[in-house]
């Protein structure tokens, strides 16, 4: 195998248990969208199913159908956009959909079959969702389908990036009015708003259900969330990263001083170097923009800097310092631990001017995933 992703099943279970202890299983929807945040939908479902999650959430109807095919029998929430053709699929597979725009609502109202729905309100995210002021109108239009409306929900815009929650509180106040409109009209709805960050640090946002994505995989949503949590609770909660990404050296070479390495001749050797080629590039999901940063991989527990530009399917790393002990076939780690060293997904994201969410969801689906 040229490159592979290792997934620690016990870490998935651990993270699920951490949240279950925090909030109770019935109140948690683990989010498995985007190929389970790039980890691998099938493998993560396999690791998680013994925990008997009450709810799972995905972005697309297709992803929900896939989870049904894999055998999931619990409640399944589709949080992303849909087109009218998706409605009958959702119904057939007992998926609950978020409806947050008038086209979607009209299509649903006109549909021959009606899956259960949750009405989404835009309380300040500026994405999907009805305006809070429309709540009474929307509720009136749903009067005869009351039983099929299972929830009202919203999404926070500004929890991960800050350590104060003024805007989140504004959003919650608006949500509160919406919830009162629906319950006031006799709808038996649950309320949900929180994703990982809010679930961790905004107790008042937990309501009846939390949609936990990134932290299922053992990541803090952001540095700010981590700081806020510690500030609130004195200590951190123990989240365990699930994923490691590894490859093997496919060739090595000795390069004299004064030679260039890679496209654009951006890197010139200052002394004789030993270079290893790794069969991983931006196609596989290692961002090209990390070229020229302090990015490194781990080989035999040592940091080996990436030199020159990252190619489509290869990168070159400096193994001069460990040339005596590194050979073709040796393992290199892009994300994960090796000896005393650890590269977090957020480290690679930092070298790549992005966030760990984007980094992991872009790990190519063709890379083999191994549950260990």
Ligand X SMILES: *Cc1c(COP(=O)(O)O)cnc(C)c1O
Question: Active-site residue numbers?
Answer: 33, 263
Question: Is the Cβ of residue 75 or residue 246 nearer to ligand X in the bound state?
Answer: 75
> Which CB sits closer to ligand X, 108 or 357?
357
Binding flag, residue 196, ligand X (CB under 6 A): yes
Q: Does 239 bind ligand X (CB under 6 A)?
A: no
Q: Which of 254, 281, 278, 255 is nearest to 267 (CA)?
A: 255
- φ/ψ region of 285 (left if φ > 0, alpha if ψ in -120 to 50, else beta) reads left
Residues 69-88 that bind ligand X (CB under 6 A): 79
Minimum distance from residue 221 beta carbon to ligand X (Å): 5
Minimum CB separation from ligand X for residue 294, in Å? 27
Using CB under 6 A as the binding rule, whether residue 212 contacts ligand X is answered as: yes
Residue placing its CB nearer to ligand X in the complex, 77 or 276: 77
Pick between residue 82 and residue 267 the one whose CB is nearest to ligand X: 82
Residue 200 CA to its chain's centroid (Å):
16
User: Which stretch, 9-17, 210-218, 291-299, 343-351, contacts ligand X (CB under 6 A)?
Assistant: 210-218
Cβ-closest residue to ligand X? 213
Give the residues across from 226 on adjacent strands: none
Minimal distance in Å, beta carbon 20 to ligand X?
Answer: 15
Q: Which of 38, 213, 218, 287 is the binder for ligand X (CB under 6 A)?
A: 213
Phi, psi of 55 (to 5 degrees): -130, 150
Count of CA atoms in the C-beta half-sphere (13 A) of 179: 17
Q: Is 346 one of the binding residues for ligand X (CB under 6 A)?
A: no
Determine phi and psi for 344, rounding to 5 degrees: -85, 155
Q: Give the residue, chosen from 11, 27, 174, 211, that forms a contact with ligand X under the rule CB under 6 A.
A: 211
| C-alpha closest to that of 95 among 134, 61, 44 | 61
Q: Which helix (H) or strand (E) holds 180?
A: helix 166-184
Distance CA 16, CA 22 (A): 10
What are the residues facing 149 on neighbouring strands?
117
Q: Which of 221, 241, 285, 350 is close enough to bind ligand X by CB under 6 A?
A: 221
Helices H, strands E: what count in the chain?
Answer: 12, 20
CB of 144 to ligand X, least distance (A): 27
Q: Which stretch binds ligand X (CB under 6 A): 17-25, 182-190, 213-221, 281-289?
A: 213-221
The residue among 221, 176, 181, 178 whose CA lies nearest residue 201 is 221
Q: Is the Cβ–Cβ distance between 201 and 215 less than 8 Å?
A: no
- From 109-117, 133-141, 207-215, 241-249, give the range in contact with ligand X by CB under 6 A: 207-215
Shortest distance, CB of residue 37 to ligand X, whole angstroms? 7
Residue 293: how many other CB atoms lie within 10 Å: 15
Question: What 3-state class would DSSP assign to 305?
Answer: strand
- Smallest distance, ligand X to C-beta of residue 262, A: 34
Residue by residue, DSSP assigns 115-156 as --EEEEB-SSSSSSSB-GGGHHHHHHHTGGGGGGEEEEE---
User: Which residues make beta-bridge pairs with 212?
Assistant: 30
For position 195 contacting ligand X by CB under 6 A, the verdict is yes
Nearer to ligand X, 79 or 95 (CB): 79
Assess 241 for contact with ligand X (CB under 6 A). no
- Mask for 33-62, x = binds ligand X (CB under 6 A): x-----------------------------
- Select 151 or 221, whichever has its Cβ closest to ligand X: 221
Helix spans in 59-112 (H): 61-69, 86-92, 102-110
Residue 229: CB minimum distance to ligand X, A:
14
Place of tokens 């006109």: 110
Binding site for ligand X (CB under 6 A): 31, 33, 79, 155, 195-197, 211-214, 221
């Amino acid at each position: 195998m040229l490159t592979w992703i290792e997934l620690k099943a016990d870490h998935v279970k651990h993270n699920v248990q951490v949240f279950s202890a925090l909030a109770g299983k019935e109140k948690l929807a683990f989010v498995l969208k985007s190929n389970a945040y790039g980890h691998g939908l099938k493998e993560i479902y396999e690791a998680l199913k013994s925990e008997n999650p009450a709810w799972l959430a995905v972005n697309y109807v297709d992803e929900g159908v896939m989870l049904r095919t894999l055998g999931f029998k619990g409640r399944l929430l589709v949080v992303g956009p849909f087109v009218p053709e998706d409605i009958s699929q959702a119904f057939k597979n007992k998926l609950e959909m978020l409806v947050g725009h008038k086209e979607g609502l009209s299509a649903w109202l006109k549909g021959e079959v009606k899956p259960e729905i949750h009405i989404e309100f835009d309380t300040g995210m500026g994405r999907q969702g009805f305006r809070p002021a429309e709540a009474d109108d929307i509720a009136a239009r749903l009067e005869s389908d009351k039983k099929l409306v299972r929830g009202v929900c919203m999404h926070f815009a500004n929890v991960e990036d800050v350590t104060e929650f003024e805007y989140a509180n504004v959003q919650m106040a608006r949500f509160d009015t919406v919830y009162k409109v629906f319950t006031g009209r006799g709808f038996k709805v649950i309320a949900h708003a929180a994703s990982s960050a809010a679930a961790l640090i905004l107790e008042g946002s937990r309501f009846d259900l939390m949609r936990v994505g990134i932290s299922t995989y053992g990541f803090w949503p952001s540095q700010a969330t981590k700081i806020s949590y510690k500030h609130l609770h004195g200590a951190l909660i123990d989240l365990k990263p699930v994923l490691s990404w590894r490859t093997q050296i496919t060739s090595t070479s000795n390069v004299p001083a004064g030679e260039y390495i890679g496209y654009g001749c951006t890197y010139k050797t200052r002394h004789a170097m030993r270079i290893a080629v790794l069969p991983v590039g931006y196609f596989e999901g290692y961002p090209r923009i990390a070229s020229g940063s302090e990015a490194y991989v781990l080989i035999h527990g040592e940091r080996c800097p990436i030199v020159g530009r990252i190619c489509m399917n290869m990168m070159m790393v400096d193994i001069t310092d460990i040339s005596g002990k590194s050979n073709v076939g040796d393992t290199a780690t892009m994300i994960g631990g090796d000896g005393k060293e650890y590269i977090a997904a957020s480290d690679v994201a930092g070298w790549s001017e992005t966030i760990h969410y984007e980094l992991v969801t872009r790990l190519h689906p063709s890379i083999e995933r191994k549950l260990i």
